[in-house]
A and B are shown apart, each in its own frame.
Chain A
């Protein structure tokens, strides 16, 4: 008898330890047949105690099933599931996010697409030139992106060739201060190291998963040295990440190290490509 008490005590103490001092859930049966469950838990982020009140109505649904199906439900598990308790195994079976699935005629979808295309046309009228091939599209959408290499290399070339000819007359596009007066920063002249793009500690991460956010990148790249700025480029219209980001380090050294390690590194389901950002 005394042994029983001792065991009871020890389990009670264990429970208290496991629950970290939380009160046990209280279940009360209401007059209308529902149950109210009051339980407590600690929020892992804020470490605050949270009281959860749930009102539960139990509904018994009777369903007729095929006898063979009912028999199969009682079969013992085997293989990798051997000796597992009945019910879905959390390792293999999980419930995904709720998603909107509505059947609808595609013509409606097409109309929306057309509207988007219209919007694109309007943008097109604003004279877009690709930095890679000079065509009328965004640089990121350039069909020759892979063939002609990164925009920046070609842009630098174009810059160099432009230096040969007289500077563009007034009415041309904006020329940043360090390139005015035939500035030679891009051609590798005597610019200050901070202005020289070849010395900039900024990395451009492309082929990045859409799920990656700033925090993920800080965790990924923070190990190589102090970070100055992390910027995930997002689509202006949809707000979804566009699949690339910029990470600026405090020093060129750590940027180089990060590039060496992280180029070709997998994140989510994609393999990132990391290169120095050029302006």
Chain B
């Protein structure tokens, strides 16, 4: 029965996102009809774009950093900590890592490790501020991380000034480019032949991020940490029932600190593929922002599970990439945002519905499987009090075993 129970749970788990996707597709179809566009044409364009070799690479690359951002958020979510600050954490981390990576005089072989360590440390530190505030002063992490995002925006602007970490080239300002020794190795030598085998050879400048490997490793690490370690158990227990966690001996304050630091550390890596594998190899004014917020949505969609988040990140990236050319057909490229929002809305509702149905159906199943047994059968009690049997009026015992007594019988 265990296997069937697990299968049921798995199918129910799958039902929610699929249902949400279908609902949002229907809604988008209606929306397109309402504004006078042809849904068929729109979806066809999206599907066609989605099979272009360059678009495929874009989707994978975008999915990579979205995945890392969502993992960072999910670590907090596992214990009901809402790290909204991933956005500020990755931007500040990327800027300082870029500053470190662009600094002259660093031996080549040390450059990449130093950049990554700097990113991880800055991300962890920035998240750690929120953790310390929560532990010592009880400041809600939602508020503190939102404010830390704002501070990060101001801080990056300040640090990026000419004379600080910034250098003016043309009419744009950015950090010194990271020399080639600090670049992250591309996955192109493996990915290109692989894509070629499916007839999807992208143009030479489109290369799959080597950071994809890091993302996969982080996902595996996340899974092991959460599901297989004592720390992960404590994390989940604290999220599921904080007061029971305290009673069980979990040091909740320590858990808050450690999980926020971990979340921030992972967040620090979000900007790395953009810094080390994109054309400029520096942090400029045009460095993408808002990935941290998207990460929250992706984590929700992926239900904080490393595999779920992978699908969610790819779906998100797919929608972003394939809706881009729609503007050429006079359809707003905001369609992507609308679809994403609808999916998210539908999925959150669907998850809650599925969660409740699962719980209710399980309770019913248990009640059914114990059907003959539901009544308290105090065998131990009977054995223990055999001595007092003499004091029990037998006629009463008999009438008690018959539902409906003489009283109710005669009145009928």
Q: Do A and B bind each other?
A: no
Binding site for B on A (CB under 8 A): none
